[in-house]
Chains A and B, each alone.
Chain A
Amino acid sequence: MKSLQQQWLPNLDWYDLAEASLDTLLMLGGSMFFTLLLGLPLGILLFLTSPKQLLSRPWLYGVLSLVVNVLRSLPFIILLIVMIPLTLRLTGTSLGVAGAIPPLVAGATPFFARLVENALREVDRGIIEAMQAMGANLRQIIVRALLPEALPGLIAAATVTAITLISYTAMAGVVGGGGLGDLAIRYGYQRFQSDVMVITVLLLLALVQLLQSLGDRLVLHFSRR
């Protein structure tokens, strides 16, 4: 075993790898949590205020939509740097897992909100009409009809967002965020330790695959059409 590792993975430090994996998972989990928390209401608001919908406010929708578009068009690497002062105020550090989470959330929330808006758009208008005819108020329409009906779409949106976040965490490594991406760049790229590079890439790939197949399964499970 020892000799095999020396032959194929001479530079790999299992302790470093485990730590980096854990950091990646923490960044992913933490940023995913806040992205869902902020992105879901934002997406619902985008949907409701869009033209011809329940709260149709073309002006508000225009502003929200612009903000979302600006954040989405900003390359994540720029966002990371621009966000540093804000991150410092929010978490007290711009380094490590805690320092990476605010820019990750800022990058993923508008993306997720847009996907939520689209998923809600897929809900048949007739269902909203039926809910109104039953005397449902706005909250009841959202909680009892829109969200359950859009659930498969929302899960798919969350899956895509989680996978996007994985690639963002790799970039966050650049500004000292740690994680697998950081490991790959510091050892694999800068020190030409290609075994480290290959292993980290394989781990990231496995993570993406795992999330995607989990997401697909859930979507299938909740699709009743």
Chain B
Amino acid sequence: MLQLIQAYKDYQLTKGQVRALQPTDLCIQQGEIFGLIGHSGAGKSTLLRLLNLLEKPSGGQLLWQGQEVTQLQGSALSGYRQQFGMIFQHFNLLSSQKVWQNIALPLALAGNLDAKARQARVEQLLARVGLTEQADKYPSQLSGGQKQRVGIARALACQPPVLLCDEATSALDPQTTSQILNLLSELNQELGLTIVLITHEMDVIRQVCDRVAVMDQGRIVEQGKVEQVFLRPQHPTSQGFVAQALPEERCALEQQVSGLRIRLSYLGEQSYAPLLSQITKATEVDFSILAGRIDRLRHQPYGQLTLALQGKDEHVAQCVAQLSQAGLEVDLL
């Protein structure tokens, strides 16, 4: 649906220029939730802003439904941008306007609905994000989560096929973050809305994304299905982000525990099979659990356990081999 071909972006500085995004190829599929993760300054916002042409690429191409759109100007550019809703870390609501006025704004800008239809659409949006009661408040009277709901309603007012989220949950507490992510996930299912979201938290990727790209220093260093990147990260940056989701592991590894230490990862149906106990029993190996996490990758259950295996060397080796044969991911630590 959206495709970047060797697109890059240079910013002019007072002295010389800086390449915020190295030549990048990227393809966003219709209906998916695509995550972009990276540390601050990695070029995530730059990449996102190329997609709705808030920034023109310095070179390379952007294709929308197979059509080149890089050179759009004036009202064609405005029209193109209206295909995208966008939400932001700091919400960027108009503080001088009431909630309903903020939501009505894109409708007024597009100017294709009469006042009555506009009001009906605003009421529908308010109801969908659960803010009917707050319609006549000003943004400063709302909590962070409510503000982001207004942001989402505003972004979706003109029924865009794509929603771009720039750190949309970074200013929210964990519980509110989950609520907002759930809302995004529901909208994705209900409307077939394609979502591209930026974050620096692996947990956000884990909860909602189908695919993810890891960015570092203006490059996409790794991309793929979330389970693939999550369970088998290849690039050091990705490994760093995955480790972020397992904070206890590092502590556990600092303890002096005897035995072979491994990390066991499993996904989907495997999570429910008693593989670990069967295999350790059969190979006469004892294990202790040092750290672990049982959770969901969007719709799939998954688990990651850090274990110390104790027993005769050959038994331990056999155990590891059988675990991998059973399809579990085994990493020696």
Binding site for B on A (CB under 8 A): 124, 126-127, 129-130, 132-137, 140, 144-145, 148-149, 151, 222, 224-225
Cβ of B84 to closest chain A Cβ, rounded Å = 7
**Contacting pair B88 A224 (CB below 8 A):** no
Q: Secondary structure at chain A's binding surface: helix, strand, loop or mixed?
A: helix
Chain B, residues 277-302, CB within 8 Å of chain A (1/0): the string is 00000000000000000000000000
Contact of A135 among B81, B88, B139, B154 (CB under 8 A): B81
Give the distance in Å from the alpha carbon of A124 to the alpha carbon of B90 in the complex.
10
Contacts known (A126-B90, A144-B109); A132 close to B96, Cβ less than 8 A: no
Number of contacts between A and B (CB, 8 Å)? 63
Q: What total of chain B residues lie within 8 Å of the partner, measured CB to CB?
A: 29
Given A124-B92, A140-B109, check contact A133 B97 (CB 8 Å): no
Q: In the docked arrangement, what's the CA distance between A126 and B45, Å? A: 13
Shortest CB-to-CB span from A221 to chain B, Å, is: 11
In the complex, B82 has a CB within 8 A of chain A: yes
Bound Cα distance A224, B140 (Å): 7
Interface flags, B235-247, vs A, CB<8A=1, else 0: 0000000000000
Does B26 reach chain A (CB closer than 8 Å)? no
Residues of B within 8 A of A (CB): 52, 54, 75, 77-82, 84, 86, 88, 90, 92-97, 105-106, 108-110, 138-140, 154, 164
Residue in A130, A136, A140 whose beta carbon sits within 8 Å of that of B92 in the complex: A130
Q: Are the CB atoms of A225 and B95 closer together than 8 Å?
A: yes
A residues in contact with B81, CB < 8 Å: 132-135
* Residue from the list A135, A144, A149, A224 in contact with B82, Cβ < 8 A: A135
A179 to B106, CA, bound (A): 50
Since A130-B93, A136-B109, A148-B94 are in contact, a sample of 16 more A-B pairs with Cβ atoms closer than 8 Å, ordered by chain A residue number, is A124-B90, A124-B92, A126-B90, A127-B92, A127-B94, A134-B86, A134-B154, A135-B78, A135-B81, A135-B106, A140-B109, A148-B97, A149-B95, A149-B96, A225-B95, A225-B140
Please tell me if the beta carbons of A130 and B95 are within 8 angstroms of each other in the complex: no
Whether A222 lies near B54 (C-beta < 8 A) is no
